[in-house]
């Protein structure tokens, strides 16, 4: 008896495990969409980075640390045509990537890149920001009433933005700032053209992708005890600068738009679902014409999603136009084509199902019966009085009358299920099976 009970218990455990795996694979919401602020993992070396959304820009909140090779000796450093990677303070002739990565400066400040190396340093989906994109950041963080000139040349400006961009480096008491923006710029210093390292703990320099001349590019420098931001073209291409990568965004792509109508009453609940190729918000606009006129509150803005659901309540026996809207976290917006939804009419003996399933390619409408093929007896002709009453029927009631005339007594047909409805039914059946197994187990235990 004990062996039999143990076998049943083991069977229940195995079934539960397989069911959990099955439901995990079915559920499209299990895999969380990536949002800025989440950790990003560079698949090239499995290095993880914190990220931060500042305005409508998603930045890495750490210096890039991609290091496929390293140059230690000063004499080997200078080059404007070949890639050069350096770690502050690492000067070994071994040029060992493993040794360079084990140093405290690598772990805190990342890698210094020459111009050639910086071009392809950022991982897929990220890129080296331009001079203009750096200005978007500094301008966004500049306090109201202060200047922040985009075209300033070799000058400091954007008062207050510098301190908001700089973080806290406990190794240098002179670099303790608010990091209000979350950017967390740290004083990783530079590598000069002659191969020497300098200004560790005193300055942070970042490359841009904007070229100034054959030998120089635009850079951004941050200095201790200076609250402004330096924009200058002294970024020598053969020198070593830190890099902050910017997230690459495209306009979200909307697909698989469908809708379902709820139970028939004076109004009907319309549930619209769709998917996007990147994490986006959820919103609808709808109305009786393609001008719409009503817009729902934007949802899923804190944690954006790729599977979207929105509901609206619209009158029965009516035709509405709907368009879905999704925005990514940097406010790139897209919308679907127009969707026409026709709700049912609450008429006696209505044989329509309680819900209707549709997509942008299918507009569910009651098809008029072909009178030439019907075997039903013909209806008597309308009297003049009946015809006059029909002409005076309001459009809303006229639609209801037409639908009544089109309906034929027949057995209700089972509605075709969408994939999501099928998944829901399967889940319910599995849950019922698990409940029965648990009851069986409890009965066996009680009978012992």
- Residue 13: pLDDT above 90? no
pLDDT (tens digit per residue) in 175-209: 989 899 999 999 999 999 999 999 999 999 999 99
**Average pLDDT estimate for 413-424:** 52
Higher pLDDT, 445 or 140: 140
pLDDT (tens digit per residue) in 211-240: 999 999 999 999 998 999 999 999 999 999
- Residue 351: pLDDT above 50? no
Instruction: Give residue 33's pLDDT.
Output: 77
Instruction: Give residue 268's pLDDT.
Output: 85
Identify the structural domains of the chain with CATH numbers, from first to last. Answer: 40-247 (no CATH), 251-366 (2.60.40.10)
- Residue 396: pLDDT above 90? no
- Closest-CA residue to 42 (of 21, 15, 68, 17): 68
**Average pLDDT estimate for 348-362:** 44
Dist. CA 45–CA 106, nearest whole Å: 14
* CA-based torsion, 226, 190, 201, 175: positive or negative: positive
Dist. CA 39–CA 51, nearest whole Å: 6
Phi-psi region at 300: left, alpha or beta (left = phi > 0; alpha = psi -120 to 50):
left
pLDDT (tens digit per residue) in 132-165: 999 999 999 999 999 999 999 889 999 999 999 9
Confidence of residue 433 (pLDDT cuts 50, 70, 90): confident
Instruction: Give residue 15's pLDDT.
Output: 62
Dist. CA 136–CA 138, nearest whole Å: 6
- Residue 18: pLDDT above 90? no
Instruction: Give residue 376's pLDDT.
Output: 40
- Closest-CA residue to 209 (of 151, 109, 133): 133
Dist. CA 134–CA 129, nearest whole Å: 7
Higher pLDDT, 190 or 416: 190
List Cβ neighbours of 88 (8 Å cut-off, separation of 6 or more): 105, 109, 112, 188, 189, 191, 197, 200
pTM listed for this prediction: 0.67
What is the DSSP code (8-state) at residue 292? -
């Amino acid at each position: 008896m004990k062996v039999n009970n143990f076998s049943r218990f083991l069977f229940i455990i195995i079934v539960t495990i397989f069911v959990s795996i099955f439901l995990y694979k079915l559920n499209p919401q299990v895999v969380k969409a990536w949002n800025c602020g989440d950790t990003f993992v560079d698949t090239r070396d499995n290095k993880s980075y914190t990220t931060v959304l500042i305005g409508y820009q998603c930045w890495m909140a750490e210096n890039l640390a991609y290091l496929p090779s390293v140059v230690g000796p000063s004499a080997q450093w200078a080059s404007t045509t070949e890639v050069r990677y350096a770690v502050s303070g690492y000067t070994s002739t071994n040029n060992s990537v493993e040794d360079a990565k084990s140093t405290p400066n690598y772990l805190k400040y990342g890698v210094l890149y020459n111009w050639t190396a910086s071009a392809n340093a950022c991982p897929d989906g990220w890129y080296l920001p331009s001079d203009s994109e750096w200005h978007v950041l500094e301008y966004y963080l500049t306090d109201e009433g202060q200047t922040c000139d985009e075209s300033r040349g070799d000058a400091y400006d954007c008062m207050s933005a510098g301190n908001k961009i700089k973080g806290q480096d406990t190794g240098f008491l002179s670099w303790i700032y608010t990091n209000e923006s979350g950017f967390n710029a740290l004083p990783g210093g530079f590598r000069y053209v002659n191969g020497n390292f300098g200004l560790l703990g005193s300055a942070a320099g970042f490359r841009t992708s904007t070229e100034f001349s054959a030998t120089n590019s635009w850079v951004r420098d941050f200095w201790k005890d200076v609250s402004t931001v330096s924009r200058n073209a002294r970024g020598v291409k053969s020198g070593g600068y830190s890099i902050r990568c910017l997230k690459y965004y495209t306009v979200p792509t909307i697909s698989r738009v469908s809708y379902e109508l709820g139970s028939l009453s004076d109004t009907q609940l319309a549930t619209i679902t769709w998917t996007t190729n990147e994490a986006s918000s959820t919103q609808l606009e709808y109305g009786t014409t393609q001008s719409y006129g009503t817009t729902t509150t934007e949802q899923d803005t804190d944690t954006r999603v790729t599977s979207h659901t929105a509901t609206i309540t619209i009158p029965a026996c009516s035709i509405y136009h709907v368009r879905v809207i999704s925005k990514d976290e940097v406010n790139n917006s897209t919308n679907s084509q127009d969707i026409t939804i026709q709700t049912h009419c609450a008429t006696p003996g209505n044989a329509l199902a309680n819900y209707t399933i549709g997509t942008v390619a299918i507009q569910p409408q009651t098809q008029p019966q072909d009178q030439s093929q019907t075997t039903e007896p013909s209806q008597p002709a309308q009297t003049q009085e009946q015809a006059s009453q029909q002409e005076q029927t309001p459009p809303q009631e006229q639609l209801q009358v037409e639908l009544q005339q089109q309906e034929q007594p027949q057995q209700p047909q089972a509605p075709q299920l969408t994939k999501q409805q099928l998944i829901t039914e399967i889940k319910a059946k599995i849950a019922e099976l698990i409940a029965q197994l648990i009851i069986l187990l409890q009965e066996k235990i009680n009978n012992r």
